[in-house]
Amino acid sequence: AQRVTQPEKLLSVFKGAPVELKCNYSYSGSPELFWYVQYSRQRLQLLLRHISRESIKGFTADLNKGETSFHLKKPFAQEEDSAMYYCANTGGSYIPTFGRGTSLIVHP
């Protein structure tokens, strides 16, 4: 079975500090990886996907097939980045596998 691992339940940083939210996946085929974000009192929404190779709200994520990772990074965290972040792998099916999520808190 596929697995998506987000090792940190909680990540706490100060404003302006770099942030990296870790995501590792297990899948023998070609992964389809996504990061979703849930801000307080808002619905879960797509942040970015690996095939787009774009930066959204200053966040980037690079697929590393050798390390089976898809870590989410931002060089300078902002208070408005505080949210719950989920990594997901669709992996060639309709059925995404989600990680358990990482709560990011950015302190002023």
Partner 1 sequence: DGGITQSPKYLFRKEGQNVTLSCEQNLNHDAMYWYRQDPGQGLRLIYYSQIVNDFQKGDIAEGYSVSREKKESFPLTVTSAQKNPTAFYLCASSAYREQPQHFGDGTRLSIL
Q: Kindly list the residues in this chain that would bind partner 1 in the complex (CB under 8 A).
A: 6, 9, 32, 34, 36, 43-46, 49, 86, 88, 90, 92-96, 98-101
Q: How far is the CB of 90 from partner 1 (least distance, A)?
A: 5
Q: How far is the CB of 95 from partner 1 (least distance, A)?
A: 6
Q: Which of 89, 106 has the CB closer to partner 1?
A: 89
Nearest to 101 by CA among 72, 77, 61: 72
Q: How far is the CB of 34 from partner 1 (least distance, A)?
A: 6
Tell me the residue type at 8: E
Instruction: Please give the Cα distance from 83 to 57 (Å, whole number).
Output: 13
Q: Which of 77, 87 has the CB closer to partner 1?
A: 87
Instruction: Please give the Cα distance from 101 to 4 (Å, whole number).
Output: 10
- Rounded CA Rg of the chain: 13
